[in-house]
């Protein structure tokens, strides 16, 4: 379908996509949606801490619950709508990380459970883990050398 666009249409389209001034509405929605998601995380964290759980475990478990929520809402086709409203406010929280795993995996399920689901799960999560883990190893080596 993309190829059927005329040059003129493409030019218009690419201008719309080109970076410009930030839209105030986008920033407000990112703030609200991101803030609400993090507040939900804080409620979960507080509830876990109130059970007497160690701080570190409560943090890990909060992440687990947030990932579950993000994956679940993506499966229900709800998270994409949240993403349209919230932009980065939906993408940056860890629920958006879960969304980036489930969304392409279910989209490409017809390609099979290995190269479809299994591989596509890491379309975005893969680069995040590669650069995250790689940079943490560099940080660890530097820390070892200076300490």
Partner 1 sequence: MEFLKAFIVGGLICVAGQLLIDLTKLTPARIMVIFVVAGVVLGALGIYPRLVEWGGAGASVPIIGFGNVLAKGVIEDVDKKGLIGAFSGGVRAGAVGIAAAVFFGYIMAVVSKPKAKNKT
Q: Of 37-76, which residues contact partner 1 (CB under 8 A)?
A: 37-39, 41-46, 59-64, 66-68, 71-72, 74-76
Min CB(8)–partner 1 separation in Å:
19
- Residue found under tokens 């609400």: 36
- How many other CB atoms are there within 10 angstroms of residue 79's CB atom? 24
11 binds partner 1, rule: CB under 8 A: no
Contact between 58 and 41 under an 8 Å Cβ cutoff? The reply is no
**Cα 18 from Cα 33, distance rounded (Å):** 24
Question: 35 CB contacts (<8 Å, ≥6 apart)?
Answer: 89
Contact between 80 and 20 under an 8 Å Cβ cutoff? The reply is no
Minimum CB distance to partner 1 smaller for 5 or for 132 = 132
**Tally of residues, the chain:** 147
Residue of 77, 82, 85, 114 that binds partner 1 (CB under 8 A): 77
Residue of 11, 12, 84, 107 that binds partner 1 (CB under 8 A): 107
26 binds partner 1, rule: CB under 8 A: yes
136 binds partner 1, rule: CB under 8 A: yes
Min CB(113)–partner 1 separation in Å:
8
């Amino acid at each position: 379908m993309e190829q059927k666009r005329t040059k003129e249409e493409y030019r218009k389209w690419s201008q719309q996509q080109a970076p410009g001034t930030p839209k105030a509405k986008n920033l407000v929605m990112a703030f609200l949606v991101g803030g609400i998601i993090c507040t939900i995380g804080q409620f979960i964290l507080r509830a876990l801490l109130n059970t007497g759980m160690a701080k570190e475990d409560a943090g890990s478990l909060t992440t687990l619950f947030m990932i579950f929520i993000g994956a679940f809402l993506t499966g229900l086709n709800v998270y994409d709508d949240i993403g349209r409203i919230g932009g980065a406010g939906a993408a940056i929280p860890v629920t958006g990380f879960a969304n980036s795993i489930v969304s392409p995996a279910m989209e490409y399920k017809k390609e099979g459970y290995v190269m479809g689901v299994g591989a596509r799960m890491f379309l975005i999560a893969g680069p995040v883990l590669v650069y995250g883990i790689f940079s943490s190893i560099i940080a660890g080596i530097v820390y070892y050398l200076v300490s």
